Amino acid sequence: MPESTTEVYAAPVTTLEAETLARATAIPRAGRVRMGTAIAYALLTLVLLLMFVPILLMISMSLRRTTLIYADFWGSPIPPYWENYAITLFQLLPPLERTLGVYALSIVGILLFASISSYAFARLRFPGSGVLFYVMVLVVMMIPGVVTLTPSFVLATRLGLKGSLWGLAVTYIAGGQAFAIFLLTTFFRSQPEEMFESARVDGASEWQTLWGIAMPLARPILVTLAIMNFLSIFGDLIWPSLMLRAENKTLMVALVNYNPLVEGELARPRLGPITAAYVFSSIPPLILFIVGMRYYIAGLTSGAIKG
């Protein structure tokens, strides 16, 4: 007589049951991911708010009378007191104009000379081009600016550049060449050689190729260089203090020395106009970033991918 065997048959699982089981299994894991994401966003939001506290406090103080600031530091700027900005605008507008003039002259010179040099390094073949690029560009970039501060001051003094705005612009043009040449050369080398060869076959000269093909393609890089040099020149304090006389001071030099006092027994700084001056000095970089942000990001992306 054959032994009896017990067979167990598993019931078939339907599609709906499989999906339900998968969701039930995935819910705890998805919940953990969402909790981690929420904590990360909460921490980032907290850090962002903490970063904005000094900015909001500066704006609030700039819209209040100085006496009210000393009486209640955390008070509200309601109603706003716009007289602080009137005082600041009258006193700091000339230094701002001089700073923007120096920047305009400097950035034109930096982009002009750096574009020509970069095109030569990237598209022309001449003896010693590699050595010149590494020695004159990369080595110069590795030297900290503080190390060359004294030699640059002595050289500017002997060349008669000290004491004038155009002399300050010339030193900025010379100092901004290394990084600009490095960035533009890297970008020009990443462009297809066939495009430039086609232009030469059609009879275009090297100058026409540079201004008609290379420069339009490098527009995001040029805007990036313009913004980076603006931040460097606009926020520079040490070099203009050494190079310029008191009557030709730039905005940062004027801002450091801007300290109107409250008349009375105890002379105290007028915090209202001082903070208004800080807000006033932050407006040009903000406008430049708003206008050129799209090109700035495109230039950084191009340098990161094609470098």
Residues 92 and 255 sit within 8 Å (Cβ to Cβ): yes
List, for residues 258-304, the tens digit of each pLDDT value.
877 665 545 678 888 899 999 999 888 888 888 877 776 666 665 54
| Token pair in block for residue 85 | 């900005």
pLDDT of residue 193: 83
Domain boundaries, the chain: 15-62, 83-306
Distance CA(175)–CA(167), nearest Å, equals 12
pTM of the model: 0.77
Under a CB-based contact definition with an 8 Å cutoff, are residues 224 and 295 in contact? yes
The answer for residues whose C-beta is within 8 angstroms of residue 96's C-beta and 6 or more apart is: 251, 280, 281, 284
Buried b (16+ CB within 10 A) or exposed e, 52-63: eeeeeeebbbbb
Amino acid identity, residue 298? A
The torsion angles phi and psi of 261, rounded to 5 degrees, stand at: -110, 150
CA angle, 203 then 207 then 212, to 5°:
80
For residue 142, the model assigns a pLDDT of 82
Q: 248: number of CA atoms within 13 Å, CB side?
A: 17
| pLDDT, the chain, mean | 81
The pLDDT of 170-178, averaged and rounded, is 91
The CATH label, of 1.10.3720.10, 1.20.210.10, 3.30.420.10, 2.40.33.20, for the domain at 83-306 is 1.10.3720.10
Omega into 79 within 30° of 0, i.e. cis? yes
Pick the range with the lowest mean pLDDT from 9-23, 56-70, 160-174, 237-251. 9-23
Q: Among residues 197, 235, 237, which one has the least CA distance to residue 213?
A: 197
